[in-house]
Structure 1
Amino acid sequence: MELREVVVRRRMVRSFTPEPVPRAVVDRMLAHAVRAPSAGFSQGWAFLVLDTPDDVARFWAVATPPGRGGAPDRWATGMRRAPVLVVPFAHEAAYRERYAEPDKAAGGEPQDPRERWGVPYWYVDAGMASLLMLLTAVDEGLGACFFGVPAERVAALRAEFGVPDDHEPVGVVAVGHPAPEQAVRGSAARRRRRPLDEVVHRGGW
């Protein structure tokens, strides 16, 4: 599939079939994810792969807010059929360590990445890695959806899967075969895509 076609076809799929996804495909998604750019080549990311029915069920058990697990809504019903979940994490310490190294330190003193950039690039880089997974899923003829973990459920996620405290989840990539009834829903169905002349400013604002 040509890159242009992959980009145009990419959308958030929110309803899956339970058909398994070959591990080789998941491995290709991860291999592409780590090709994402990262500030200072810090590579401050990690990926929790949940690709067995038991592990996927464990995720939904800890990520679902109390009171919402008994009667899943349409979104949850479709999403819970996804056979693979990949949770990308951002690791701030990797960037701080990298920018304390001699080739990055200013005047021999370690630099604070937040003060230097004003932007926490560990999140940006983990997001770019996530996008490469989304695009790879399309290239493999699959569907994928990026969604967030409720803030109040992050501690439970850490405890269930033994995630270190210094790794922060930036979201979850659900992967699987789109359900036959899949249709454009959510915000994309209600809002227009902003045209280039509204968002592109050449030479100034």
Structure 2
Amino acid sequence: MNERLNPYNEKMEKTIRVLEGEFATIRAGRANPAVLDKITVDYYGTPTPVQAMAAISVAEARILVIQPWDKSTLKPIEKAIQASDIGINPTNDGSVIRIVFPPLTEERRKEICKQIKKQGEEAKVAIRAIRRDANEKFKALKKSSEISEDDQKDLEEATQKMTDKFCKRIDEIAAKKEKEILEI
């Protein structure tokens, strides 16, 4: 691969990683510690991720158990989960917090699939924006006579192929996640 394409390839890879991270936090009816990734707790005035304050384990297929290392943080963790957008009420038994994931309704599955499609489209838009930036850079290089017109065309063609490859990967990742949601 041409070294001029490397920065754009890396940006596109990063877009894929971000999308996969977003998909990991989607609540799919089974216990997944990743749903807590974006939740922070006010711990002595510092926003702290739940993972840094407690051991998180999957007790059963649909039950997540959060065991804080400091028992005094039970209430703040519980409040942070309630205030978050995961839509599940935690239960606190005085030593651990349990989150029971209800089975998904057909309506909720369809909503999640729409959300997956939307996030996939947003990722493709990001990929296309990277392509546009690359093509503008190649035009500027041509204008300043750093590359020939043929080189510019070759780079733009290679960028388009790379864009197509990443858009296809996004479609595959989104389809896999949708299938996972619909099969639960």
Q: Normalised by the shorter chain, which TM-score bucket? A: under 0.3
Q: Which has the larger radius of gyration?
A: 2
**Structure 1-normalised TM-score?**
0.25
Higher percent of residues as helix: 2
